[in-house]
Amino acid sequence: MANDNIQMWTELNIDLKSHDMLLNALGPIFKEVYLSQKNRPAGMGFYDFVVGDIHGIRVKELREHAKNGGKVVATYCVFVPEELVWAADAIPVGLCAGTQFSVPMAEEVLPRNTCALIKSSFGFKLGRVCPYVQASHLIVGETTCDGKKKMFEILNQYQPVYVMEVPNKKTERSRQLWHGEVLAFKDVIEKLTGNKIAAKKLGEAIDLVNQRRLALQRLYNLRKNRPVPISGKDALLATQVSFYDDAKRDTQMLNALCDELDKRVAIHQGVAPAKAPRILISGSPMAIPNWKLHHIIESSGAVVVCEESCTGTRFFSDLVKPTQQNLDEQLKAIADRYMNIHCACFTPNDERPDDVVRLAKEYQADGVIHYNLQFCHTYANEAHKMGKRLEKEGIPLLRIETDYSDEDAGQLRTRIEAFLEMIRK
């Protein structure tokens, strides 16, 4: 198997030396952050296996698909409507961008004062260390923030990139623009694959992705229980894996995990004492292997019960309205669903603070940690409004700005422990 992988990575033009270093670094981190947890659900074994073979089996599946004439479409943002990709018999894969490892590589080209997510993803391409990037036929970007937008121009020099224009406002005119973008994306995918997207196929794809969203909703609903039956770290990992695993298999594994958690809830079995402070995290997405904040919070005696983020509720909280018959209606339903993602790229974006207040109540959160990546101006600025709103609601808030390095881990721990102390009083 190991030799098979090496051959596959060589064919994908991976820099084997750097890649070895990346995988060798990931193993001990995963052991420390994940395998050290006590009382984990047995269903997490699947996710441990997936991470243990992170650049193996799934990449092999994508390669098989490509060898049979299929296409692989890589994405960076939850705005890209994956239903259209599935409907054209292509496979969408959400790219990881959560490691410090590839940041210095990116800084050879990008300005240092760029957010870690952008640098990490670009560094993967520049350093040729990510087989998912290498295996993809098209990368789909979006105009959500200036940093990403300009990075995609440079990335396009290395690999084909198509950029969707995400509007910045939520007006009717913006909705029409976005609807047009969804139609244009359909054409791009049809051209890439040579497959015409028909209503029947699109209906099946809508159902496929909706089923995964429902399974994630089920997982998150289970986190509303006290004591909480699964750690925030494990729930985050399950969500992160959903970005690149096969959607049907992923739904099955999520539901199997939820079946187990149902049993835990029935006997009040939790991963943390019922009195442990419950934290809701709100802000920038956390791509694999960005587990830094969750690890600090949970190893300080609290438990993360929800993430209002794109590796959290923004990924799955809305379904596409199932309309099986009519292609125009389906495309409209897709456009409507995706326009309802409350990303900080919108102005104004009052729906996001509303969501956080609602989620804090639903998940019985004792406090909110607002997380934004350094140099991410949209989330950093929105934190101000969030602070005012949560203050009005009497919900304690801690604002964290960080990156992927471990340099500030000690300082973060001190601040988080002080916050938890304040919540416990």
Site residues for ligand BJ8 per CB under 6 A? 77-79, 115, 117-118, 144-145, 147-148, 284-285, 310, 341, 343, 345, 373, 376, 378-379
Alpha-carbon Rg for the chain in angstroms = 21
Nearer residue to ligand BJ8 within complex by CB, 208 or 339: 339
Burial of 362 (0-12, 13-18, 19+ CB in 10 A): middle
CB of 310 to ligand BJ8, least distance (A): 3
Nearer residue to ligand BJ8 within complex by CB, 144 or 251: 144
CB of 88 to ligand BJ8, least distance (A): 22
Nearer residue to ligand BJ8 within complex by CB, 221 or 340: 340
CB of 134 to ligand BJ8, least distance (A): 21
Residue 225 makes CB contacts below 8 A (sequence gap 6+) with 265, 270
CB of 367 to ligand BJ8, least distance (A): 22
Residues 279/88, Cβ–Cβ less than 8 Å: no
Helix then strand then coil, % of the chain, to nearest 5:
55, 10, 35
Nearer residue to ligand BJ8 within complex by CB, 61 or 408: 408
| CA–CA gap between residue 236 and residue 287 (Å, rounded) | 9
| CA–CA gap between residue 189 and residue 156 (Å, rounded) | 17
Query: What is the maximum span of the chain, computed from C-alpha positions, in angstroms?
Result: 62
CB of 249 to ligand BJ8, least distance (A): 23
Helix, coil or strand: residue 75: strand
| CA–CA gap between residue 166 and residue 148 (Å, rounded) | 12
Helix, coil or strand: residue 372: strand
Structure-token pair, residue 385: 């409004």
Nearer residue to ligand BJ8 within complex by CB, 118 or 339: 118
Q: Which residues pair with 73 in a beta bridge?
A: 92, 138
| CA–CA gap between residue 298 and residue 283 (Å, rounded) | 18
Half-sphere exposure of 268 (CA within 13 A, CB side): 4
Nearer residue to ligand BJ8 within complex by CB, 80 or 360: 80
Nearer residue to ligand BJ8 within complex by CB, 5 or 282: 282
Nearer residue to ligand BJ8 within complex by CB, 18 or 374: 374
Query: What strand order describes the sheet that includes 91-94?
Result: 91-94, 72-75, 138-142, 161-164
CB of 413 to ligand BJ8, least distance (A): 22
| CA–CA gap between residue 260 and residue 251 (Å, rounded) | 14
Nearer residue to ligand BJ8 within complex by CB, 101 or 371: 371
CB of 167 to ligand BJ8, least distance (A): 12
